[in-house]
Structure 1
């Protein structure tokens, strides 16, 4: 091996880069020098070229050993816990003063004689010998985020202690419950009351209808804030923020101010305005720009009326005091509108996070504050009704956020702005995928105590009974594409998975939210092993589980899994069945017949669909999600990965409206059959 590449590989591994990975087909791929250098630069390593690598390696090793303790330490509730200390040998035999600041406010202090702790490792750098010692923590820690400060003469360090249960939250009696629910993107859910797309009111009606049939949850795509003008990015997986909601989905008729705001009612009832709403409602594709512009005209008037209503205005200001970040977000969005540019093009002071009066219009700031309050009210009310008869809302936490979004601007150190997330080449995407949003910086998020990640989780968990974690492999490693390079030149970057799982366990218990990890595609075995250890639910998508010998049928879903026929990135079942090869179709049909799920082997998509749903409904999978569009044999997908303008991704509305499909006999029959099978006691198949 080239000696330069060998030194570069050592530096890459020091920064958590994988110099070698295996593609979907099993082929071994080695990262190029250019890719490693670019990824190291994105991580902040002091390298402009190969000549800088030896010095950067020396500096990196020295920095690591000079770091007295890691910024984050996990303390599992069922294990002996300690803090790993790295100390110069002349410090490692002194007495350490330790102070533990508990999240609840209490403080514990003690002294430790470091000479009594045996070294577990050592190294000599620049003539100084360093030792690693494990400092034990006294007694059992309460769950929470605690700060521990360790001081020896001339040296002090601090670590965030994440004290968490070993397993994520599981509902009481989880082992004996098998729930089901329906899925449809909210933008696709249209009704006689909706405007350009479905809204939170439509979601509430869908939930009540599902519960009336025995279901326990309704799932949809991310509902997060989006850029729907300039820039224009309607993808739910590239939101403007993971901390705030999309006012596009507000139910205007449920806003209290509408009853006391004559200006808004006058506009709403105007013939031209009603004609515009009707045209938006009739359109087969969602027109986000027009729809948001129409809704904003009403919302701006309602925001003004709220200011003139003391009780409501007091409630709004009280909420803002409890959620101070909303004002910062509102000013960011208002500044974008006034500057008519993304934050990367703002003056330096504003780019660096400092906004002053005059950088934005107060009316725009008020609008964005007000709509976030309304979204909170409507989602909170919906979640409160949802969890009476099951998990309720199944929400989706996307992996990333738009690079021009609020989160990247405000939490800059948490992101690696010089790279994008993506996926390496595979048989379906031979050039790989570039998702165009910046990855979390593995050390930047640790240095801020995972503040941003925790806030993102809480924003979702306060409303979700079940939360899907997009691309759960990202807790372990992410495929980075350095700026200016193609996905073929990407590099995998490792993360501290144990710290993520500890945070997920702690937050899910606090919010009583069941977690589902999206583990589809090429996923290293360690990911599913770790998910199982911490009791995260897996995803079992039937087309991915067909055995190589179709006559044996598909693999059975695990008990701790969410089972479904497809995802938003896949064709609906009717399209899948049409495209599947004859051998697999015959094998699946005969399997369903042998199990008694269809009356006879058949090529009928309708009969095989119902047979597959019966198979999943009768399985031990504790959550079953039914794509409503499958029930009327829709063939058009909601999203085709790898396309942009070639296909109307995230825009296609459901063919029937809600008033129609909730009365369709075949839809009702299928869901009643599923409900009956879900309510039966599960019997282990022979």
Structure 2
């Protein structure tokens, strides 16, 4: 092993790895040197620690780390619904889905036999730049997005005084979520309620603030400074601020906190409202009969200039972003614009920050999906200034990460799902299974050389679904409209589109044949509720402990929430559902799919 290789290995950098197609790829020397500098190691003078002979170490879960698994899922199965909360429509919301909508959708799903309701990540984003709408690029994963607060449910709200009917109608009629207008409208009314001093007793809020401690105060302070800086022409993120405001412990920030105490308290009050309403929604789902209840989502990282990195610089790495190596879908690799957690930083903190992050998101959840679960073992780091494909994997202390996750899971009585798609290290899924960490299986990808894998051969320890927020919807897949969309927005050229159409024709024929083999002979060429119900029933027949149906597929929509690889050419994270919650039960596709799921996976008495 060359000196650079030994130095990299000694500091947890795995520069050679197998890509998705099995080929061995090696990170360039320049990128490895840059990553060493990011880790605080001089690549020219650094002395490598001893490197184990079996480097890199395999993924390994500690023998005593087991995530919570409800008794009814030891042998049984369940199903649920997933949705993009922002996209829910109702007769009462303010242009964006909110926590009251979440509760009402869950109560409807529970009546149909669902055991859980999953949502996109609810993490705090940037109130100063609400158009930064990706729920997977949070400012801080430990706090909630206040735009999901149902303002009409806040005590002290005065409809005739606070409501601007004209503005509200415009927000509700829009096809896409207008985050800027929603933010302006909601925050104006919430500020008025806060100024009036209305709402529940002060003691409940004070107790929340005391229990949340310094992390809440720093988050609220960040938001207050961020709004002020944006008003002065700077960006919402701290890296664009004047130097004195980049240090949360500096005198400039301390003076700001004294001068803007009301605004800091307002930001903490918003978190209290959001936490309270989310807790109420979770309780209503359980009371409606769901055995799991609320199923939340944890993003894999945070924005490099958000509240989390500003509040504690030791926990995240500046100078690198996380992403994915090149594969057949993204030949140039992917850079996700997220700051990686520092392996040494979280270890030095006794894994307390990681524990706190899990505890905060599992306060009200019965299940948690961990985006890119391989982050428990390794992440693909891309040094600043390098192309996405020129990164390398950096290892994390998996045994300790899993132990903390399992402890919080058991204490919260919440099951954990790990999204294990993409480049998965050898042995990782075995360790997931050993730790009761459910995998994630998507219908489109469950294939072998003979076509779609029969449902009886699917993994038991998994959540199975037709598609996700990052894949095409079932209606678009069946009709091929997703191929046309990718051609129109430049992700395909005509040759690639034609090749994909030919592949899709074969895959569709195989899907129809699979439906016929399972006795669903009425499924044909055209997409309708029969096809939708059939494909979902096919997935539900699998032994997988959980099955999820996403709202876009329940409504037969062709538009997907997010098209990976796009920024401005597709309205990612902005689409609303075309019908309100009050109208959902009248949609034939939804009725057919939910009836089929309930028959295939009936809820036990």
TM-score, L = length of structure 1 = 0.79
Query: Which of the numbers 149, 152, 165 marks the counterpart of 1:253?
Result: 152
- Note if 1:219 corresponds to 2:113: no
Counterparts of 2:94 and 2:342 in 1: how far apart (Å)?
40
Listed as ranges, the matches of 1:301-450 within 5 Å are: 301-306=192-197, 312-324=201-213, 325-340=215-230, 341=234, 342-354=237-249, 355-359=253-257, 361-388=260-287, 389=289, 390-450=291-351
Aligned partner of 2:489 in structure 1 is none
Residue in structure 2 matching 1:591, options 511, 514, 517 = 514
Q: Distance in 1 between matches of 2:579 and 2:191?
A: 32
- Do the aligned partners of 1:547 and 1:554 also contact (CA within 8 Å) in 2? no
Report the equivalent of 2:488. none
The match for 2:524 is 602
Residue in structure 2 matched with residue 177 of structure 1 by the alignment: 76
Pairing of 1:398-547 with structure 2 (within 5 A): 398-547=299-448
Contact 1:267 1:298 in 2 (8 A): no
Partners of 1:75 and 1:441 in 2: CA distance: 20
- 2:456 and 2:542 in contact (8 A); partners too: no
Aligned equivalent of 1:564: 465
Shift of 1:416: 1.1
Secondary structure of the equivalent of 1:436? strand
CA 552–377 in structure 1, closer or farther in 2 if over 3 Å, else same: closer
Shift of 1:587: 1.9
1:662 pairs with 2:556: no
- Aligned mates of 1:615, 1:327 — CA distance in 2: 49
**Alignment partners' CA distance in 2, 1:451 and 1:665:** 48
Three-state SS of the structure 2 residue aligned to 1:559 is coil
Which of the numbers 42, 45, 49 marks the counterpart of 1:46? 42
The answer as to whether partners of 1:228 and 1:234 remain within 8 angstroms in 2 is: no
- Whether the 8 Å CA contact 2:552–2:560 is kept in 1: the answer is no
SS at match of 1:492: strand
| TM-superposed deviation, 1:529 | 1.2
Per-residue CA distance 1:558-585 (angstroms, 9 max, x = gap): 2221110001000101111223622222
Establish whether residue 239 from structure 1 lines up as the match of residue 138 from structure 2. Answer: yes
Pair 1:198–1:24, CA change in 2 (3 A)? same
Which residue among 260, 270, 274 is the counterpart of 2:165? 274
1:31 aligns with 2:21: no
Three-state SS of the structure 2 residue aligned to 1:414 is coil
| Separation in structure 2 between the aligned mates of residue 406 and residue 446 of structure 1, nearest angstrom | 21
Relative to structure 1, the CA distance from residue 384 to residue 274 in structure 2 (aligned partners, 3 Å threshold; closer, same or farther) is: same
* 2:107 aligned partner: 208
SS at match of 1:356: helix
Q: Shift in Å at residue 176 of structure 1? A: 3.2
What is the CA distance between 1:173 and its match in structure 2? 3.0
Q: Deviations over 1:433-492 (max 9, x none)?
A: 110111011111101112221111111111110100000011111110001111121111
Q: Deviation of residue 278 (structure 1)? A: 0.7
1:294 and 2:185 aligned: yes
Q: CA deviation digits over 1:6-48, x for unaligned, max 9? A: 111110000111121122222221111101000111111134x
Residues 268 and 22 of structure 1, relative CA distance in 2, 3 Å threshold:
same
Unaligned 5+ residue runs, structure 2? 53-59, 481-502
Shift in alpha-carbon separation, 1:166–1:552, aligned structure 2, 3 A: closer
Count of residue correspondences: 562
Map Cα deviations across residues 275-318 of structure 1 (whole Å, 9 max, x no partner): 11110111000000110110001100111123x67x62222112
Cα deviation, residue 386, structure 1? 2.1
Instruction: Tell me the distance in 2 between the aligned counterparts of 1:649 and 1:520.
Output: 21
Give me the whole-angstrom Cα distance separating, in 2, the residues matched to 1:448 and 1:626: 39
Q: Distance in 2 between matches of 1:451 and 1:347?
A: 31
- Larger CA deviation: 454-463 vs 201-210: 454-463
Deviates more, 1:450-459 or 1:573-582: 573-582
Cα offset for 1:609? 2.4
Q: Any residues of structure 2 matched to 1:81-230 within 5 Å, and which?
A: 165-230=64-129
Cα distance in structure 2, aligned partners of 1:75 and 1:550: 33
Could you say if the C-alpha distance between residues 551 and 408 of structure 1 is closer, same or farther in structure 2, counting changes exceeding 3 Å? closer
Work out whether residues 440 and 462 of structure 2, in 8 Å CA contact, stay in contact via their aligned partners in 1: yes
Aligned to 2:203, what secondary structure does the other structure show?
Answer: helix
Residues 565 and 423 (structure 1), Cα distance of their counterparts in 2 relative to 1, 3 Å cut: same
SS at match of 1:605: coil
Give, in whole Å, the separation in 1 of the partners of 2:537 and 2:204.
48
CA 1:197–1:230 in structure 2 vs 1: closer, same or farther (change >3 Å)?
closer
> Aligned to 2:547, what secondary structure does the other structure show?
strand
Given that residues 35 and 489 in structure 1 are in contact (C-alpha distance below 8 angstroms), is that contact kept between their aligned partners in structure 2? yes
Contact kept, 8 Å, 2:79 with 2:114, in 1: the verdict is yes
CA separation in 2, counterparts of 1:457 and 1:185?
21
Distance change >3 Å, CA 593–CA 492, structure 1 → 2: same
CA distance in 2, matches of 1:337, 1:628: 34
Q: Distance in 2 between matches of 1:638 and 1:410?
A: 31
Q: How far apart, CA to CA, are the structure 1 residues paired with 2:129 and 2:593? A: 43
Bigger strand share: 1
Equivalent pair of 1:546/1:555 in contact (CA under 8 Å): no
Q: Is the 1:539–1:562 contact (alpha carbons within 8 Å) kept by the matching residues of 2?
A: yes
Tell me how far 1:680 sits from its aligned partner: 8.3
